[in-house]
Amino acid sequence: MAYEPTPRAAPPQRHLLFAATVGAVLAVIVVVAGIALRVKDEHQLKDWTETQAIPSVNVVVPAKEAPGGSLELPGRLEAFESAPIYARVNGYLKSWRVDIGSRVKAGEMLAEIETPELDQQLNQARADLASAKADAVLAKTTAGRWQSLLDTDSVSRQDVDERTQDYVAKEARVTAAQANVDRLVATKGFARIVAPFDGVITARDTDVGALISAGGGTGPQLFSVSSVDKLRLYVRVPQEYAPLIKPDGTGTFTVPEYPGQHFTARVAGLADSVNAASGTTLVQLLVDNPGHLLLPGGFVNLHFALPVRAGALRVPASALIFDNQGLRLATVDPHNTVRFKSVAILQDLGNTVDIGSGLTESDRVIDTPPDGLVEGDHVQVIKPAAKAANHG
């Protein structure tokens, strides 16, 4: 009898239903998780986008009672006294005794001029004086004799008066001749070229044998003498800063030939006027120059320390906004909202400015405000407020 295998029983129906249910639940969980993750990413993207749409700004707090800053100006040095020396007589240069760089004293002879024509004029004038004196002596004797004859009624009064008048005229000629001699002697004295004051020879523009013509500013100069123990410094100060520069105030300056070395100058005076072309006031300072380190005509870079302006609040110049509404500053209120304030500049120090009105010391000022910022915008401060720089 053949063996027949017993057939395997089919799985129960409930097992299949359970497996299908588990699969469906897993699928739902996966779908829900994917949707939740996507929604979360969308919310994060939205939050990030909204955050990026809010401008980020740096803010500073205005500095109060900051140093007054400084004023840097170009200037020039001039000799305390300077004189070009011209000839007062015609002739030829006989000799010179000093050259450029020589230190001279007042009255010291610099050169001598040979004056042959003037010498002849002086000789002639002296001869004319001698002749005039002789004529005056004769006229005096004649007048005396005629006066004696008048006492005896030998001559008329008219004749005596004529002789007396002739004597007076001859005396006048003597006086005129003497004056001419004195003039020529004084002119001859100019043949000696002398220093007008203590100083240094800064130019010599002549030599032995050179033809000399009497000058007075029109002819060529022979020498130039400068007093350099003390120098004058001239600088032009802008009109807005002129009231801050006071007589007897001081300034420091540097010169290119001595880098890093500072010199001091004292304000001697200010011109009581403003140059219409440049809008500046000329200021004169005095500089002691005992070692003659500084040279007349030299360029200097002058530094004035400016006084503190009462009530001024200092902010960076980069915070200023110039538009059709005038000069303004953008500030941030406690709610990080932008508020614009119209202000007035009291003093411009270059990198910083002093505000005279329109701002309080508790304001948070936006430094370098972004374009397109308008009143009421919300901003985020990217770093705590710092004090504005205390220097210009």
**Per the domain annotation, does 241 fall within a domain?**
yes
pLDDT digits (tens, 9 = 90+) for 193-244: 999 999 999 999 999 999 988 876 566 789 999 999 999 999 999 988 888 8
**Residue at 49 is within a domain:** no
42 — pLDDT class (breaks 50, 70, 90): low
Render pLDDT for 168-177 as a digit per residue (tens, 0 to 9): 999 999 999 9
Please check whether residues 299 and 326 belong to one and the same domain. no
> Would 346 be classed as within a structural domain?
yes
- If asked whether residues 298 and 363 sit together in one domain, one would say no
pLDDT at residue 284 greater than cutoff 80: yes
pLDDT-derived band at 392 (thresholds 50, 70, 90) equals very low
Same domain for 301 and 315? no
Question: What is the domain range of residue 265?
Answer: 227-305
- The pLDDT mean for the chain works out to 84
pTM score > 0.75 for this model? Answer: no
Of 50-64, 86-100, 288-302, 369-383, give the lowest mean pLDDT range. 50-64
Q: What is the pLDDT of residues 260-275, one digit of tens each?
A: 899 999 999 999 899 9
Residue 359, pLDDT above cutoff 70: yes
In this prediction, residues 71-85 reach a mean pLDDT of 92
CATH number reported for the structural domain that contains residue 183 in this entry: 1.10.287.470
At which of 190, 216, 251 does a domain end? 190
In 3D, which of 226, 298, 285, 288 has the Cα closest to residue 257? 298
CA-angle at 71, arms to 352 and 329, nearest 5°: 20
Give the DSSP H or E segment for 344.
Answer: strand 344-348
Q: What is the reported pLDDT for 110?
A: 95
Q: Which of 279, 305, 331 is the last residue of a domain?
A: 305
Q: Domain holding 269: CATH number?
A: 2.40.30.170
Cα–Cα distance, 100 to 112 (Å, whole number): 17
Tell me what pLDDT residue 134 has. 92
Predicted pLDDT of residue 306: 78
pLDDT of residue 391: 47
Neighbours of 270 (CB within 10 A): 16
State the average pLDDT over residues 89-93: 92
Q: What is the CATH number of the domain that holds 373?
A: 2.40.420.20
- Contact between residue 296 and residue 202 where contact means Cβ atoms under 8 Å apart: yes
> pLDDT (tens digit, 9 = 90+) per residue, 321-330?
988 888 999 9
Number of domains in the chain: 3
Classify 131 as helix, strand or coil. Answer: helix
Collapse the DSSP code of 374 into the 3-class scheme (helix H, G, I; strand E, B; otherwise coil) and give the result: coil
In a domain, 143, yes or no: yes
- Give the residue among 285, 286, 300, 282 at the shortest CA–CA distance from 236: 282
Q: Do 245 and 298 belong together in one domain?
A: yes
In a domain, 82, yes or no: no
Q: At what angle do helices 157-189 and 116-151 cross, to 10 degrees?
A: 160
337 and 280 belong to one structural domain:
no
284 and 335 share a domain? no
- Boundary of a domain, candidates 282, 305, 328: 305
Among the listed ranges 41-55, 114-128, 158-172, 194-208, which one has the minimum average pLDDT value? 41-55
User: Does residue 299 have a pLDDT over 60?
Assistant: yes
Residue 90 lies in a domain: no
Q: What is the pLDDT of residue 167?
A: 86
CA dihedral sign of residues 10, 12, 13, 15 = negative
> DSSP label at 245?
-
Residue 35's identity, in one-letter code, is: I
Is there a single domain that holds both residue 243 and residue 301? yes
Q: Is residue 155 part of a domain?
A: yes
Q: Is residue 326 domain-shared with residue 342, that is, in the same domain?
A: yes
